[in-house]
Amino acid sequence: ASSRTSITVQDILTASQGQLMPQGGYQCMSCCRIFPMLWSIKTHIQNSSQEGYSCKVFYRSLKVLQEKEQRVQETVAPG
């Protein structure tokens, strides 16, 4: 399932909550590189394997874990 999971801009923003960059950029939570614009980090994540990084795998795994956690929370506290 995780190999079919697509990474959205919202996933990137959710993963980086609380990570303020003084330069006003976006930090990849996998490799810690900083990107000036949201589209540039999204492109980096999509093409990370070509750059020798596993950031796409990291974000996919993170998204799957967050979705599982959300389902558990909904089961524990329905409504």
CB 41 within 8 A of CB 12: yes
The residue extents of the domains of the chain are: 22-75
| Model pLDDT, residue 1 | 46
The mean pLDDT of 21-34, rounded to a whole number, is 83
Instruction: Give the pTM.
Output: 0.69
Q: How many CB atoms lie within 10 A of CB 54?
A: 13
Task: Name the token pair of 33.
Answer: 């590189």
- Return d(Cα 73, Cα 76) in angstroms, integer: 5
Residue 67 has pLDDT above 80, yes or no: yes
CA 72 to each of CA 11, 66, 69, 75, 77: distance values in angstroms, whole numbers, following the listed order: 19, 10, 5, 5, 9
